[in-house]
Structure 1
Amino acid sequence: MGRLARDQGTWNANHPRWRLLKAIDGFRSYRDANKAEVDRWREAYRHVGKDQKKLLESPAVNYRQKLNTLDHLIDRNALLSDAIAAHAQSFYAVSDPELSEFARDEAEAGRPAERVSVVQALKHYVRDWSVEGARERDPAFACLLRTLEGLYPDRLDGGNNNASAPPARVLVPGAGLGRLGYEVEALGGFEVTINEWSTYMIAAYRYLESHPAADSHVLHPFIDSLSHHATTTDLQRPIVFPSPESASLLNDPSRVLLVEGDFTTVFSSSSSSGSYDVIITYFFLDTARNLLSYLDTVFRLLRPGGHWLNLGPLLYGTGPWVQLSLDEIVRVTEDMGFELLDLDPVCGEPTFPGDAGSLGKVQGMEAIYGSNARGLTKSSYMAQSWVAQKAE
């Protein structure tokens, strides 16, 4: 809350409170922003010829009704989005006048409420906390969790903390809506901290954290695009979350600590150095503006002998300062003082088969990301995994 104070630092788009207000305004504006998109589709439909429209308005298609139904489903999604915004306002003590003034200033500056980031955050409920998301989670989580179990068997005792060994401290930066952190904590014997920078993800997580009842939330996550749908029923179908098995993880959210803010900044104090036994970078490394700052932070935060687990693609984002190939990342981490260890076969196949050195310990597996299980397209990566130990 101290970092969120408006008088802390320079007031601009990088200020934590500015980003928080932008996210709350985005969730609060979900209905209008998405109905504007449907109106754009209606406007495009006007150009279709009269005789062609007779075909499209037949009972078999009824295109106009399809768009009207999307309006109705947007209203349903907006109930969730509005609730997220209201909860964030309450949680962070943001008043209505402050939020209204911010939204007005943004509109006058020609910066509309964010639509895409809100949609993406809502879809992470599917990825992290629904039954449908298991096809994305399970293979990747199996790699990471089994690796942890192999590294720290003395911490595990049938899912309960083993009193003979202190809990290992685990940090998961770029945690999204937090599911991986809860899965690690559920193993027993691990004290878990998750970290997230996106205020859209944080607002969605904070809402779920406070409303964790099984099957209590409904979302129509696929209505933001008309592409790649086998049927209109698939396009419009609801997803319910959290699933019962997911909700069991959320019985006591206080068991997992969320630290908000930039990974390289919020853990920058000298007191954080050597604080963690394990750092798990899951779909995270390629989000860096400066990849070397990420690697430096991972190394500094680990205690001597601590372990770094990575699984993810190398899809560099907007404006990265440096973009390394996989083999370059491995060489750099070795030079920093990491030693790569053997991975379980569940983590995929060797990316550099036949290499007897560190590259031979890197494994690749197909990892689905953010896709629609019934869609006509699939988004996936050959995610790269390794486990490295910091020199004693």
Structure 2
Amino acid sequence: MPDLPDEPDEIRSWSGDFDPLADHDERRVLFATLDSFRQYRRTAHQNTTHRRRQAFYALPSAHWQMLAEPPFSILDNFNRVDDAIDVNAEIADAILATGLASFGLPATPDPADPSQNWHGTANSADVNKAHSTLRQFYRDWSAEGQSEREACYAPVLQDLRNEFGGRAGGTEEDEVKVLVPGAGLGRLVFEVCAAGFAAEGNEISYHQLLASSWVLNHTTGARQHTLHPFALHFSNLLSRDQQLQTVQIPDTHPGTTMVEAQGSATPFGKMSMSAADFTVLYSNPSNEAVFDAVATVFFIDTAPNLIRYIEAIRHCLKPGGIWINVGPLLWHFEDGSNRSHGGSDETQDQGIGEPGNVELTETEVFCLVERMGFAIEKRQAGHERPWCGYIQDPNSMLVPLYRPSHWVARKKINL
């Protein structure tokens, strides 16, 4: 293992001088995240098998008795799903433990102390995020998720090599700095560094930040943790074995990869992570013209207002720097949930919480990118784009697929 920072320093590297425990609203979000991982085991049992047992026993007795016997053995399968939930919960518990240590919080807080009492703060939405975060390990950190990663991460890495290949693994003065907004569980950041570039990931979700910190900094080897990614889902199954399939994570151990890269022709690049609202942090004067490249993967459609994202990318890119994008346009705020529809005369970026939202077509995205100071140099034609899933069981009877857009834009030098 490489020498890694202890947890408090690691958290400070996420958020600069900002202390989330000192801010009431930020502390509430962090506490709810921690509590959602604590509640994973209980809520998964409650919402998955407990309610299904109740519904099963509500069938006519002759019917449930028949289905309880082989070859159906429905009740036995509920028990196996419970076992799978407990296996998954070990990962949730590990993420929680490292998160608590990072922030210096007790596992059993004083209920009378609001500055440390994180128990019972998560709502159902927070818990759902913890569930989906665990499933995301299938995509980013299992061998079985490689095909999804290849469809989305490989084009980015190839574009970086095409543009900067001669500088991969260069000295600190000549290092290529790549920003990865929406870094999620950190796999793309890791792969960019493994290719010899310096990568800074940015993520606003504490669920993703805590989980990525665990897998990058606290796992002890490859394939050390078992995950049942699809155990909680009962529809579109060919067999119970399919439902209870396992993957081993991480497929590649980050620490070992870093050590093995030392002294190689392409040493592992500098890696960092920031925890902040993307548009606010990277519109800051301190980040002006800092990065050689920005790589957005399944990210731009998280924007309520894409103009804010483009402004931030333009601001933090060096003149002549490139913006690589791969992803769909599944606009996250299309339903208008939790958005204010009142007008705003403010020109100051208020981040993801800014009122208003708009959905654009790909053609309109291209027009907007070019109007705002970029020249699109590469576009992958629709018929050339590979189909890919997102945390998708390839054996499912229902296989939703994306055909993600892939393009490269260069920031114009004379703006």
Shared fold by TM > 0.5? yes
Instruction: State the Cα deviation string for residues 334-361 of structure 1 (Å, max 9, x = none).
Output: 1111001135xxxxx513x9xxxxxxxx
C-alpha displacement at 1:100, in angstroms?
7.1
* Residue identity matched to 1:304: P
- After superposition, the Cα gap between the structure-2 partners of 1:323 and 1:376, relative to the gap in structure 1 and judged at 3 Å, is same
Q: Distance in 1 between matches of 2:399 and 2:406?
A: 21
Amino acid at match of 1:380: L
* 1:1-392 → structure 2 map (5 Å cutoff): 1=12, 2-8=17-23, 11=24, 15-37=25-47, 38-95=49-106, 96-97=108-109, 101-104=117-120, 106=121, 111-112=123-124, 114-156=126-168, 161-162=169-170, 166-188=174-196, 190-212=197-219, 213-244=221-252, 248-249=256-257, 251=259, 255-318=270-333, 319=336, 321-342=357-378, 349-351=380-382, 364-392=385-413
Partners of 2:60 and 2:19 in 1: CA distance: 54
* Aligned position for 2:3: none
Q: Whole-Å Cα distance in 2 between the matches of residues 236 and 66 of structure 1?
A: 9
The amino acid across from 2:175 in the alignment is P
Match of 2:340 in 1: none
> What is the Cα deviation at residue 381 of structure 1?
0.9
Which deviates more from structure 2 when the two are superposed, residues 66-75 or residues 275-284?
A: 66-75
Q: Is the 8 A contact 2:216 2:255 kept in 1?
A: no
RMSD, matched Cα: 2.3
Call closer, same or farther: CA 1:89–1:255 in 2, change over 3 Å. same
Structure 2 counterpart of 1:21, one-letter code = F
Q: What is the aligned length?
A: 363
CA offset digits 1:221-246 (Å, max 9, x no partner) = 11121112211111112210111476
Q: Distance in 1 between matches of 2:258 and 2:230?
A: 25
Deviation at 1:379, TM superposition (A): 2.6
Q: Structure 2: any 5+ residue segments left out of the alignment?
A: 1-11, 262-267, 337-355
The structural deviation recorded for 1:44 is 1.3
Task: Note if contact 2:224-2:250 (Cα within 8 Å) is conserved in structure 1.
Answer: yes
Q: Which moved more, 1:246-255 or 1:95-104?
A: 246-255
* Identity between Structure 1 and Structure 2 (%): 29
| Aligned mates of 1:163, 1:99 — CA distance in 2 | 44
- Greater displacement, 253-262 / 76-85: 253-262
Corresponding residue SS for 1:102: coil
Cα 1:163–1:276 change in 2 (3 A) is closer
1:132 and 1:373 in contact (8 A); partners too: no
Match of 1:357 in 2: none
Q: 1:204 to 1:186 in 2, by over 3 A?
A: same
CA distance change for structure 1 residues 142 and 5 in 2, over 3 Å: closer, same or farther? closer
Q: Shift in Å at residue 112 of structure 1?
A: 4.7
How far did residue 219 of structure 1 move?
1.2
1:3 counterpart SS class: coil
**Structure 1 gaps, min length 5:** 344-348, 354-362
Q: Residues 112 and 389 of structure 1: is their aligned pair in 2 closer, same or farther, counting only changes over 3 Å?
A: closer
Instruction: Check whether the contact 2:195–2:269 (CA below 8 A) recurs between aligned residues.
Output: no
Distance (Å, rounded) in 2 between the aligned partners of 1:24 and 1:92:
11
Pick closer, same or farther for the CA change 1:246–1:366 going to 2, 3 Å: farther
Report the Cα distance in structure 2 between the residues aligned to 1:286 and 1:46, rounded to whole angstroms: 44
- Opposite residue 136 of structure 2, the aligned amino acid is H
Deviation at 1:3, TM superposition (A): 2.7
Question: How many angstroms does 1:55 deviate by?
Answer: 2.4
Q: CA deviation at 1:203?
A: 0.9
